[in-house]
């Protein structure tokens, strides 16, 4: 069986160690020959790269591993790029959140003024990586989950319409994991979902089990009482701010049973409950970022990863599902951000919408959604 060469762009990201370990764990179904990390900032790449080099040599010597800040080295002879970059790091995310809040407007990394600012920063970075990939490995696929995914996807549609890039977000996956947990299912893959929206602004319209049984009534009864407040395996969603968001789904549900659009429908409440001095960026810098870089430092100082762990990015297996679908033509049904092109019949054909697609070796085939209701169709 062919083994694949992968470059992780944003190699100094807090998510990188977890993705590398997840890839090693999933190699029974997605065989990996080589993993390369690439970041454009040596001060981020060096500690994460060095620590992972030590850990991989000890725990997964069968996988070739390296890290670099040199684009040619990073993007030559690869099959896939997994991209999760944050242009401006958390320092800029902090401003994206705090400047709008100063004016009593929602401060958030993917929507509102903060989302626009982050989008403007991210576009050039994502295009740069795509261009490197096309220059050095023109047959490779770029699986992009850098945020703000909706804006980045729109930029790639306009500026690189023929490129082999697929934009995907973990948020629907994370919520479906919680739904499956609420419904006492072993996995979200036991659910057949119908869904449409813009990224981070979407609606599930039908959820059944594989035999066709409607699971919505049970799910709605739970959300009505408790939102999505249920234990989650997703490491980043265990923080207090995420718990608050999941609980708030209950209030949004009371307004409009189909939505989770707290930033639109409950703007004032969100602003009221925000700490203008300490936002999500601060929460991450004080927790995940600190933990990941402290662990990396410990491994490097000891020269061994014995006694050290990074959280394995188990929830990120959706990226492997996507890579497998492209590599092995599995036709798996996945929610992707793609040009509408008539899939939602009464919505802008050029909009980048998040809808179910079947994914095979030629890329995503979007499924028809049909006509959507007036409220969700308001142009924004
Ligand atoms: P982070 O700040 O820890 O890491 C991002 C890394 O990207 C940094 O090391 C930075 O130097 C690097 N970088 C920035 N510009 C670059 C460029 N042009 N080329 C190469 N590297 C570059 O951030 P994080 O919290 O790990 O998040 C990374 C990204 O992943 C964010 O955009 C985040 O929103 C996104 N994310 C997406 C999903 C999803 O499923 N859509 C889920 C989680 C995180």
Q: Which are the contacts of 286, defined by CB distance < 8 A and separation ≥ 6?
A: none
Residue 90's closest CA among 282, 239, 241?
282
Q: How many residues does the chain have?
A: 380
Residue 85 Cα distances to 15, 105, 219, angstroms? 10, 26, 34
Can you read off the two tokens belonging to residue 374? Answer: 């007036």
Tens of pLDDT along 105-162?
988 888 889 999 999 999 999 999 999 999 999 999 999 999 999 999 999 999 999 9
Distance, in Å, from the CA atom of 107 to the CA atom of 249, rounded to the nearest integer, reads 18
User: What distance in angstroms lies between residue 255's CA and the mean position of ligand 1's atoms?
Assistant: 34
Write the residue with the smallest CA distance to atom 14 of ligand 1: 87
Distance, in Å, from the CA atom of 334 to the CA atom of 41, rounded to the nearest integer, reads 33
Distance, in Å, from the CA atom of 162 to the CA atom of 172, rounded to the nearest integer, reads 26
Burial of 243 (0-12, 13-18, 19+ CB in 10 A): middle
Instruction: Give every residue of the chain whose pLDDT is below 70, as ranges.
Output: 230-243, 245-262, 264, 376-380
User: What distance in angstroms lies between residue 233's CA and the mean position of ligand 1's atoms?
Assistant: 21
Write the residue with the smallest CA distance to atom 35 of ligand 1: 146
pTM of the model: 0.90
| Residue 89 Cα: closest atom of ligand 1 | 2
Residue 191's closest CA among 204, 320, 199?
204
User: What distance in angstroms lies between residue 248's CA and the mean position of ligand 1's atoms?
Assistant: 27
User: What distance in angstroms lies between residue 316's CA and the mean position of ligand 1's atoms?
Assistant: 14
pLDDT at 374 (0 to 100): 77
| Best mutation site among 15, 88, 150 for ligand 1 pocket (most ligand atoms within 8 Å of CB) | 15
pLDDT at 68 (0 to 100): 98
Write the residue with the smallest CA distance to atom 42 of ligand 1: 170
Within 10 angstroms of residue 79's Cβ, the number of other Cβ atoms is 20
Distance, in Å, from the CA atom of 253 to the CA atom of 248, rounded to the nearest integer, reads 9
| Best mutation site among 8, 11, 38, 84 for ligand 1 pocket (most ligand atoms within 8 Å of CB) | 84
User: What distance in angstroms lies between residue 372's CA and the mean position of ligand 1's atoms?
Assistant: 33
User: What distance in angstroms lies between residue 12's CA and the mean position of ligand 1's atoms?
Assistant: 8
Residue 23 and residue 324 in contact, taking contact as beta carbons nearer than 8 Å: no
Residue 278 and residue 98 in contact, taking contact as beta carbons nearer than 8 Å: no
Residue 1 and residue 31 in contact, taking contact as beta carbons nearer than 8 Å: yes
Residue 55 and residue 298 in contact, taking contact as beta carbons nearer than 8 Å: no
Q: What letters, b where the CB count within 10 A reaches 16 and e where it falls short, cover 141-154?
A: bbbbbbbbbbbbbb
Whether residue 148 is preceded by a cis peptide bond, meaning omega within 30 degrees of 0, is: yes
User: What distance in angstroms lies between residue 86's CA and the mean position of ligand 1's atoms?
Assistant: 3
Tens of pLDDT along 61-86?
999 999 999 999 999 999 999 999 99
Pocket of ligand 1 (CB under 6 A): 9-10, 12-15, 39-41, 44, 84-87, 89-90, 125, 128-129, 145-147, 149, 169-170
pLDDT at 253 (0 to 100): 64
Residue 353 and residue 367 in contact, taking contact as beta carbons nearer than 8 Å: no
Residue 301 and residue 54 in contact, taking contact as beta carbons nearer than 8 Å: no
pLDDT at 233 (0 to 100): 57
């Amino acid at each position: 069986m062919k083994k694949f060469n992968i470059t992780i762009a944003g190699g100094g990201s807090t998510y990188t160690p977890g993705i590398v370990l997840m890839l090693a764990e999933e190699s029974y179904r997605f065989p990996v020959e080589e993993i390369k990390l690439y970041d454009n900032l040596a001060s981020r790449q060096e500690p994460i790269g060095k620590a992972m080099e030590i850990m991989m040599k000890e725990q997964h010597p069968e996988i070739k591993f390296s890290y670099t800040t040199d684009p040619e080295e990073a993007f030559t002879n690869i099959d896939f790029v997994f991209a999760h970059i944050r242009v401006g790091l958390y320092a800029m995310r902090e401003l994206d959140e705090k400047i709008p809040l100063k004016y009593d407007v929602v401060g958030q990394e993917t929507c509102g003024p903060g989302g626009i600012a982050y989008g403007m920063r991210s576009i050039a970075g994502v295009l740069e990586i795509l261009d490197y990939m096309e220059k050095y490995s023109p047959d490779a696929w770029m699986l992009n989950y850098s945020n703000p995914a909706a804006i980045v996807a729109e930029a790639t549609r306009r500026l690189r319409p023929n490129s082999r890039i697929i934009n995907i977000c973990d948020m629907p996956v994370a919520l479906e994991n919680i739904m499956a947990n609420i419904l006492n299912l072993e996995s979200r893959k036991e659910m057949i979902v119908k869904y449409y929206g813009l990224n981070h602004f979407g609606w599930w319209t039908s959820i059944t089990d594989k035999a066709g049984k409607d699971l919505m009534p049970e799910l709605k009864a739970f959300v009505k009482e408790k939102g999505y407040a249920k234990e989650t395996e997703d490491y980043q969603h265990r923080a207090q701010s995420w718990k608050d968001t999941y609980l708030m789904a209950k209030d949004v549900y009371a307004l409009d049973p189909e939505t989770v659009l707290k930033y639109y429908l409950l703007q004032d409440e969100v602003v009221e409950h925000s700490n203008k001095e300490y936002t999500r960026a601060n929460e991450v810098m004080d927790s995940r970022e600190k933990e990941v870089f402290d662990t990396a430092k410990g491994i490097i100082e000891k020269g061994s990863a014995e006694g050290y762990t990074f959280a394995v990015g188990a929830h990120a297996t959706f990226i492997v599902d996507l890579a497998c679908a492209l590599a092995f033509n599995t036709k798996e049904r996945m929610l992707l951000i793609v040009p509408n092109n008539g899939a939602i019949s009464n919505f802008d054909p050029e909009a980048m919408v998040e809808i179910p697609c079947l994914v095979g070796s030629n890329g995503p085939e979007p499924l028809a959604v049909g006509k959507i209701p007036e409220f969700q169709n308001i142009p924004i």
